[in-house]
Amino acid sequence: MNERITEKSQPNDRNYQIGTASFRARPIEPGLYIVATPIGNLGDMTLRGIEVLAAADIIACEDTRVSRVLLDRYGIARRPYAYHEHNAETVGPKLVEALLAGKSVALVSDAGTPLISDPGGRLVPEAKAAGIRIVPIPGPSAVLAALTACGLLKDSFFFAGFLPSKQGQRRTKLEQLKPLDAALVFFESPNRAANTLLDMVAVFGGSRKAALCRELTKTFETIVTLPLSELAAEFDSEDRIRGEVVLVVGPPEVDALAPRSDEDVDNVLRALSLEMSPSKAAGEASRMTGRPKAELYQRLLSMKQVGP
């Protein structure tokens, strides 16, 4: 793609529709707008998100066909531009160029909040480095929808995204996450969910509670919360699992958290360091394990020097 990303103005291209009522979108300031979109039910789109999509100079999306369905639902006659993992290196700089020229760009994913396990994570740092304003437009999130409905959320949660596809690597990752005193949230392919549940039974034990949430907000929404062994038996084959899947594993029982071996502490530190600075990871690990923060900080630095 050698041409600049531009948008030709049309008489009604800033209009949007809700039901039978039509509206004119108010102008928005230049910047990168991170717009959350429905995870299934198109009626979950926020009013602010609709107006931003209608007002933005450029709409960047994962799949133009998917976004076209959403735009048509709300009468937004705009051409979306594809921005995904396969063209991010070429399209990303062009979006930044448009932003630097004073344009407004709305970034959407196929479903849910952008940057959560999608390529939008590359664009925001590039835009921030260029001094561009970033504006979050919150809305639907599969992570929060699953957590609020499964009954396993206590004080905190840890979003682990997609697990590795190979069993050995998947179990290693689960072992690292096992000691965390938090609900664990995973995205998973329906084709791998049954095997992942079996791996979770092997690593976490069959009594630890978990939930399989599928097709959230859609017609055939299913949320099943059971001990892991029963959940794995309930969904024991790919034929039993259809659609988008979120797995939630409840925090370990209190008696499973202490005493902690050095190996357990190292696993906690590794898992936390994936999302936090060494200092913050050591502080959180100290809260979870009862060990001094200074000791854990030095332990984490030593681990990073030695490598995995």
Specify whether the CB–CB gap between 107 and 122 falls below 8 A.
no
Of the listed ranges 44-48, 108-112, 155-159, 291-295, the least confidently predicted one is: 291-295
Of the listed ranges 131-140, 151-160, 190-199, 284-293, the least confidently predicted one is: 284-293
250-266 mean pLDDT: 71
Specify whether the CB–CB gap between 99 and 32 falls below 8 A.
yes
| Number of CB atoms found within 10 A of residue 287's CB | 12
Specify whether the CB–CB gap between 193 and 212 falls below 8 A.
yes
283 closest CA partner among 275, 270, 272: 272
Which conformational region is residue 151 in: left (phi greater than 0), alpha (psi within -120 to 50 degrees), or beta?
left
**SS3 category, 257:** coil
In DSSP terms, 183 is beta-bridged to 157
60 closest CA partner among 126, 102, 15, 119: 119
Say whether pLDDT at 6 is over 80. Answer: no
| Neighbouring residues of 107: CB distance < 8 A, sequence distance ≥ 6 | 32, 33, 34, 35, 60, 61, 83, 114, 120, 123
Name the strand (E) or helix (H) holding 245: strand 245-249
Burial class (CB in 10 A: 0-12, 13-18, 19+), 200: buried
Q: Which amino acid is at 125?
A: P
In DSSP terms, 33 is beta-bridged to 106, 135
For 64, the token pair is: 């133009």
CATH of domain 143-255: 3.30.950.10
Largest CA distance in the chain: 68
Say whether pLDDT at 81 is over 50. Answer: yes
Give Cα separations from 154 to 151, 223, 276 (angstroms).
Answer: 9, 18, 21
Cα separation, 163 vs 8, whole angstroms: 42
205-210 mean pLDDT: 94
279-288 mean pLDDT: 82
CATH of domain 15-140: 3.40.1010.10
What does DSSP say about strands 134-137 and 31-35: parallel, antiparallel, or unpaired? parallel
Say whether pLDDT at 231 is over 90. Answer: yes
230 closest CA partner among 205, 263, 255, 206: 206
Name the strand (E) or helix (H) holding 162: strand 157-162
254-280 mean pLDDT: 74
More confident residue, 270 or 55: 55
Of the listed ranges 82-91, 113-122, 196-205, 209-218, the least confidently predicted one is: 113-122
